[in-house]
Amino acid sequence: MAGTGTRRKGLRLSRERRVAEIMAAARAVFREKGYDEALLSEIAERAQVVEGNIYRYFDNKRDLLVKVIEDWYETMLADYDQQLSRIHGTRARLNFMIWRHLKTVHDEPSLCQLMFLHLRTWPDYSSTAVHELNREYTRRTLDIVREGIEAGELRDDVPLRLVRDMIYGCVEHRTWAYLRGEGDFDPDKVADDIVDLVLGGLARHGARSEERPDIAERLENAVARLERLSAHPDS
């Protein structure tokens, strides 16, 4: 009982600080264990609080997860626009958006899984702040497409919404195995492949098939990577 490293009883923090501590602990536990396996008792222990005290600040376990993801999302999207602003050209900008998403999945698989499988599926997701943030996030992609259409580079007879669904749906399916812990993937390569497929389509539209259009594509992808490098040096 002489231990000083044990639970210091009666340590009282401001609401703000306590909330921050609980959310930090919760993020760690959720990340390690997933939603169902994450125990409030463990979160409480790591946050140095008693279990019941969490309910002063969060309605329930679910609410805690929502706030954790929300917090993560906000910091993640913070420098997004700035990075994007340095990249020019429809293809390169699309490439960046897709690559960025892939990179996020690659770096934070657990949190992404929580987002995909738990947050997004609950019936009140639409009223969440995360939903709104997510719409912002994907709206940029549609803006790029819209600009491409106005510039005459892209077809104007495709439902915009479907383009978004195709891109993000494709990313998600492509990363599914990785999220399940099976195998790995390379964000750069997958991004290139997806942009190529989305823009070019599967069919051969073939005036001259012997002329390799992919030379230009490969160069453009390379330039996109260079741009990314200057926008986000630690990629």
Partner DNA sequence: CAACTTAATGAACTCAATTCATTATTCCGC
Partner DNA sequence: GCGGAATAATGAATTGAGTTCATTAAGTTG
For residue 208, what are its two tokens? Answer: 């001259």
Nearer to a copy of itself, 53 or 85 (CB): 85
Contact between residue 136 and residue 73 where contact means Cβ atoms under 8 Å apart: no
**Residue among 67, 55, 77 at smallest CA distance from 23:** 67
Distances (CA, A) of 138 to 14, 17, 44, 47, 155: 36, 32, 35, 34, 19
Task: Tell me: does residue 6 bind DNA (CB under 7 A).
Answer: no
**Residue 210 sits in the site that holds a copy of itself (CB under 8 A):** no
Nearer to DNA, 7 or 212 (CB): 7
| Axis crossing angle, helix 90-107 with helix 187-200, rounded to the nearest 10 | 140
Q: How many residues of this chain bind a copy of itself (CB under 8 A)?
A: 73
Nearest to 148 by CA among 133, 138, 158: 158
* Per-residue contact string for residues 84-103; x = within reach of DNA by CB under 7 A: --------------------
Contact between 45 and DNA (CB under 7 A)?
no
Q: CB-wise, 16 or 184, nearer to a copy of itself?
A: 184
Binder among 164, 178, 184, 210 for a copy of itself (CB under 8 A): 164
Using CB under 7 A as the binding rule, the residues of this chain from 14 to 43 that contact DNA are 14-15, 18, 38-41
Instruction: Please pick, from the candidates 125, 128, 133, 142, the single residue that binds a copy of itself as defined by CB under 8 A.
Output: 125
Q: Which residues contact 47 (CB under 8 A, 6 or more apart)?
A: 21, 22, 24, 25, 26, 54
Pick the binder of DNA from 3, 5, 10, 206 (CB under 7 A): 10
Cβ-Cβ contacts under 8 Å for 123 (sequence gap 6 or more): none
- From residue 104, alpha-carbon distances to 82, 107, 215 in Å are 17, 5, 29
Q: Which of these ranges, 3-11, 45-53, 67-75, 112-120, lies near a copy of itself under the rule CB under 8 A? A: 112-120
Q: 18 or 27: whose CB is closer to DNA?
A: 18
Smallest gap from residue 116 Cβ to DNA (A): 20
| 168 part of the interface to a copy of itself, by CB under 8 A | yes
Q: How far is CA 43 from CA 23, 38, 53, 189, in A?
A: 9, 8, 11, 38
Closest distance of CB 16 from DNA, Å: 8
Residues that contact DNA, how many (by CB under 7 A): 24
Residues forming the site for DNA (CB under 7 A): 7, 9-15, 18, 38-41, 48-53, 55-56, 60-62
